[in-house]
Amino acid sequence: MKNTLLFILLLLIIISCNTHHKLSNKTEPSSYKHDSNTIHPQFAVFNKSDSITELHFKISSKELLYTRPDGQNFTSNVLISYRLIPAYDSREIIDSSSVRIVDLNNTGADKYLIGKMNVKSFGRHECFLRVTIIDLNKNVTVSNVLTIDKSNDLNRQNFIVKSKEKDVPLFCNYAKTGEEVVIQYKAKMAVNIYVRYYKRDFPLAAPPFSLADPEPFKYRADSTFTLQLSSDGNVNFTVAKKGFYHFQLDTSKREGTTIFNFSDVFPEVKKADDMVPPLRFITTKQEYDELTLSTNKKASIEKFWINCSGNQEKAREVIRKYYNRMQDANLYFTSYLEGWKTDRGMIYLIYGAPNTIYRSATSETWTYGEENNINSLQYTFSKVANPFTDNDYTLERSGVYKQAWYVAVDIWRQGKTYLQD
């Protein structure tokens, strides 16, 4: 691992495989809050062989507490552990291990702690990995559940996409124009890899009360081309233009790995042109058309929010909160769509992070308000089998959401934030 990334001391601690643990599906809502009081790790899963799956992790030093236990050096103290289980709520543990990371950072420089753990994953099946990260200095714990799919040799987890410059996984499914990556396949063999390029302009998510059926995805690619893996199973690739690239070994199937290029600043929101589309959720058609056709979108956006808020100072604050939510939605919910365009992103943008999240292998349920309170809002999202991403969820829509939706929209149109972040 390159010196420019970090200084890491890895101490491997083996945890007994005979331990039993029941996996709870209640999740802290802080997992969808972008703040420094918790940890937001990123993961990449790579089925390196028929018996080993690599768990790659990435943790921001900004979210860790560095202390001086020896009175001289500032160090972090992080424990990462995993439990491999055959089913989402199983008590059986197939494999388990942990690694302790002590990072020296006397300069206080922002960096990422990047490393990997080898998981013993035998057989051709789907299983689950519960990963727990503890900041021992700050006494903060976060848990994530990842799916390991070994059902075939063609799906995305048999590939890993790395930055050519930094030689580390991307830890996301998107890249920028001109970015060079290395695509690695699990088997070391020189074979063709087929690339389908899609240029799509997807519509925004429909309101939660809409019962209209979405249009099916058209799988016919806009263009196709072929690359060749080296004898080591690698191929270099430069992202040439916006859209997405789907890499496959077998074109008779839909499985493969995908790289998306949404914009050169994604997931951040910096351009006025990118700030107009998310306003469609809270504007009338006439307002939205005027914003879209404006020759000075920045001024038009500011005018819209000033009209809502009543003055420039309040407008700036509500603009900051609205587009911070948009950026967070891009971080957490991006699938084949930008995160804010997805069903979860739409609800998150308007309502903010839920009070309670329940997850299962196939769904997420968000509650706004107290649990078991008749006045609370509850949204359920079902996971979609998608060859391009494993982060695609669709909202179970209902007409009962209509009044609550318009109440939330009206609050934004008054220049106020629905649920303070």
Domain ranges of the chain: 8-151, 158-261, 272-413
| Helix, strand, coil tally for the chain in percent (to 5) | 20, 35, 45
**Cα–Cα distance for residue pair 372/378, rounded to 1 Å:** 10
pLDDT of residue 104: 94
CB-based contacts of 192: which residues, under 8 Å, 6+ apart?
Answer: 226, 227, 228, 229, 249
Same fold, 8-151 and 158-261: yes
CA 47 to chain centre: 20
Kindly indicate the confidence band of residue 16, based on its pLDDT and cuts at 50, 70 and 90.
Answer: very low
Closest CA to 332 of 324, 320, 340: 340
Res 403: pLDDT = 95
- pTM of the model as a whole: 0.89
317 phi/psi in degrees, rounded to 5: -70, -45
Question: 2.60.40.10, 3.20.20.140, 2.40.50.140, 3.40.50.720: which CATH number matches 8-151?
Answer: 2.60.40.10
Non-local CB neighbours of 213 within 8 Å, separated by 6+ positions: none
The pLDDT confidence band at residue 245, using thresholds 50, 70 and 90, is very high
Whether the per-residue pLDDT at 411 is higher than 50: the answer is yes
Secondary structure (3-state) at 237: strand
158-261: CATH class: mainly beta
Helices and strands: H and E segment counts in the chain: 6, 20
Taking only the tens place, the pLDDT of each residue in 304-351 is 999 999 999 999 999 999 999 999 999 999 999 999 999 999 999 999
pLDDT tens digit string along 290-302? 999 999 999 999 9
Residues 6+ apart with CB under 8 A from 154: 248, 249, 250, 253, 255, 256
Find out whether 188 and 233 touch, Cβ atoms under 8 Å.
yes
